[in-house]
Amino acid sequence: MALQITQRRSTNGAQANQIRTLHSLGLKRIRQTVVVPDRPEIRGMAHKVTHLITVEEVSDDLLPNGGKSKYRDRGQGPITSQKVTLSDADAVDPDGTVDEDALADSADEEE
């Protein structure tokens, strides 16, 4: 699920931390609407400024990228079973895979 948050009231007279919370949610003016992921930290920010906003639950389809993170997941690169040293750098393809023949050739040259 995702949350659709709309700013309904002005920030005039609001405390500075409430204004910063609205900006963190992506709201800068009245009647502006944002769709954010439904996470505990977002719900906490929304709870802090409930008197200034309205919150509705919507489907994840409204999120940019379909709700997926815009950042690459760490640790999802290719897995190799061998430790590659700097002298074996020519055996590693640009995509991160190890060329076994080139690695064997470099091992033969070292001996």
What is the spatial distance between Cα 19 and Cα 48, in angstroms, rounded to a whole number?
10
Contact predicate 13/51, CB 8 Å: no
Report DSSP state, residue 54: E
Structurally, what CATH architecture does the domain formed by 2-65 represent? 2-Layer Sandwich (3.30)
What pLDDT score does 96 carry? 64
What pLDDT score does 85 carry? 58
Contact predicate 3/35, CB 8 Å: yes
Question: Is the pLDDT reported for residue 91 higher than 90?
Answer: no
Q: Where are the domains of the chain?
A: 2-65, 77-111
The model's pLDDT over 7-27, given as tens digits with 9 standing for 90+, comes to 999 999 999 999 999 999 999
Q: What are phi and psi of 76, to 5 degrees?
A: -100, 15
The model's pLDDT over 39-64, given as tens digits with 9 standing for 90+, comes to 999 999 999 999 999 999 988 777 77
Q: Scanning the structure block, which residue is given the tokens 């393809």?
A: 93
